[in-house]
């Protein structure tokens, strides 16, 4: 079931209504790249029965308990962006339909790091790092998920079950797969072909992710389209341990505002959830025409029919809708009313220290308060946390148009 254009969404809404007359599953298919398996054989029913095969939609329609919908995150402390919001928004849709979002914090692998020391991504974190990073993550997704309705959110740390596995259990996990199956995985396949080394412990990562599904009894796992293999491993392991296998629901990887590459902080083509709303508003007005439909589909609740015709108007509506979602109508009104305070750098002599600009602009009362705020991690420039009290800018032109922010509510736009 591959649905990426609004037309096909409409089609699947129609389909889903014909399958289940009483419920509307458009929330399930909206923006969804793939649901697998499309049908699954239900055991203990006669093969002639009309319901001997079940789709996720049937399960949703007929389940007498909330389904457990798993999504795993790495507590690496990254500031998250609109690309990351996509599975979170789908989790929220499941929550709103009465199901339980099970958010897995992958603290186990983060705490052991990469044993070869070769992976930048998997550097070793302390227990305190992990706790703080998980909290940072949860703070960022608070506007998206339902944290308040009882039974709608479970946050679980996978060290709880992974740290107690012993060698015999690990052998059991490994014995469920063959070398060829693992080497067929995207990523491994190319590396093996290119003869670049694949270390044996790397085979454990998909199995650990899969075992998470066993541990939390997942009914559905969400992930990007690059997660199909890992989610399928979870299905195999659940069956191995006598559970019903989860469904996989895959979501597209968002293309960045450059219209070229996947959204990523390091590529600079991202819109961060912690960015100042004014900056978010500005960036979303630059989204290329060709991406607008997908951005609306994945990042808002608007329907194609509600969108204006002109690309410029669409960009503006996108910016308004997303800013309103994350910051509310009042902030949007302030931005649109030109109420973002500006600070002219014309009176500042460069090179100038960040701390000086903070006090000169009135964001901080003094240079020493400015230094303290930086040390307390309360200062951001275009959403990027500033951590070095010695940061110095060579020229004002480096800063023109950027938003300098202290805490949640104090900010200025820097102008010439």
Q: Which residues bind its own copies (CB under 8 A)?
A: 108, 111-112, 114-116, 162-168, 170-172, 174-180, 182-183, 192, 195, 197-201, 203-204, 208
What's the closest the beta carbon of residue 205 comes to its own copies, in angstroms? 9
What's the closest the beta carbon of residue 204 comes to its own copies, in angstroms? 6
The reply, when asked if residue 330 is annotated as ligand binding, is no
What's the closest the beta carbon of residue 3 comes to its own copies, in angstroms? 34
Nearer to its own copies, 46 or 180 (CB): 180
How far, in Å, CA of 296 to CA of 123, rounded? 36
Closest CA to 116 of 186, 42, 204: 204
Asked if residues 9 and 3 have their Cβ atoms less than 8 Å apart, the reply is yes
**CB atoms near residue 220 (< 10 Å):** 25
Nearer to its own copies, 61 or 183 (CB): 183
Closest CA to 247 of 17, 102, 69, 13: 69
Give the CB-side neighbour count of residue 216, counting CA atoms within 13 A: 32
Structure tokens at 186: 């995207």
Nearer to its own copies, 22 or 180 (CB): 180
Answer whether the bond into residue 351 is a cis peptide, omega within 30°: yes
Q: How far apart, in Å, are the Cα atoms of 390 and each of 331, 341, 395, 411?
A: 32, 25, 15, 20
What's the closest the beta carbon of residue 236 comes to its own copies, in angstroms? 12
SS3 335: helix
Nearer to its own copies, 191 or 303 (CB): 191
What's the closest the beta carbon of residue 195 comes to its own copies, in angstroms? 7
Structure tokens at 194: 């290119």
**CB atoms near residue 65 (< 10 Å):** 9
Nearer to its own copies, 114 or 336 (CB): 114
Asked if residues 404 and 363 have their Cβ atoms less than 8 Å apart, the reply is yes
Per-residue b/e over 18-29, b at no fewer than 16 CB within 10 Å?
eebeeeebbbbb
What's the closest the beta carbon of residue 176 comes to its own copies, in angstroms? 8
Nearer to its own copies, 36 or 205 (CB): 205
How far, in Å, CA of 242 to CA of 404, rounded? 55
Enumerate the known binding-site residues for ATP.
265
Enumerate the known binding-site residues.
265
């Amino acid at each position: 079931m591959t649905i990426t254009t609004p037309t096909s969404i409409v089609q699947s809404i129609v389909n889903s209504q014909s399958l289940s007359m009483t419920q509307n599953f458009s929330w399930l298919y909206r923006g969804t790249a793939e649901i697998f398996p499309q049908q699954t054989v239900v055991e203990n029913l006669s093969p002639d029965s009309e319901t001997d095969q079940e789709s996720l939609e049937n399960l949703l329609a007929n389940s007498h308990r909330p389904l457990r919908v798993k999504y795993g995150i790495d507590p690496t402390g990254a500031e998250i962006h609109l690309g990351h919001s996509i599975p979170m928004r789908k989790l929220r849709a499941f929550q709103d339909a009465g199901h339980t979002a099970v958010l897995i914090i992958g603290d186990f692998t983060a705490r052991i790091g990469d044993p070869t020391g070769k992976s930048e991504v998997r550097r070793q974190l302390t227990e305190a790092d992990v706790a703080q990073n998980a909290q940072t993550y949860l703070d960022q997704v608070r506007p998206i998920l339902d944290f308040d309705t009882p039974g709608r959110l479970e946050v679980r740390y996978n060290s709880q079950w992974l740290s107690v596995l012993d060698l015999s259990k690990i052998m059991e996990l490994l014995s469920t797969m063959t070398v060829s199956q693992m080497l067929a995985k995207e990523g491994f396949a190319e590396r093996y072909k290119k003869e670049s080394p694949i270390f044996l412990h790397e085979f454990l990562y998909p199995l650990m992710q899969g075992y998470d599904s066993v541990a939390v009894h997942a009914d559905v796992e969400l992930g990007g389209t690059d997660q199909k293999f890992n989610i399928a491993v979870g299905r195999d392991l659940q069956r191995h341990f006598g559970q019903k296998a989860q469904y996989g629901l895959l979501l597209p990887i968002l293309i960045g505002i450059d219209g070229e590459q996947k959204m990523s902080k390091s590529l600079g083509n991202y819109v961060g959830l912690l960015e100042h709303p004014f900056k978010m508003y500005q960036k979303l007005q630059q989204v290329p025409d060709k991406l607008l439909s997908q951005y609306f589909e994945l990042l808002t609740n608007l329907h194609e029919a509600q969108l204006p015709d002109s690309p410029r108007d669409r960009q503006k509506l996108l910016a308004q809708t997303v800013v309103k979602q994350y910051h509310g109508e009042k902030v949007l009104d302030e931005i649109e009313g030109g109420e973002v305070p500006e600070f002219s750098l014309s009176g500042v002599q460069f090179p100038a220290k960040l701390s000086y600009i903070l006090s000169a602009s009135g964001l901080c009362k003094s240079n020493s308060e400015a230094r303290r705020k930086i040390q307390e991690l309360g200062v951001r420039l275009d959403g990027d946390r500033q951590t070095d009290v010695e940061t110095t800018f060579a020229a004002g032109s480096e800063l023109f148009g950027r938003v300098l922010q202290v805490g949640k509510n104090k900010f200025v736009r820097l102008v010439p």
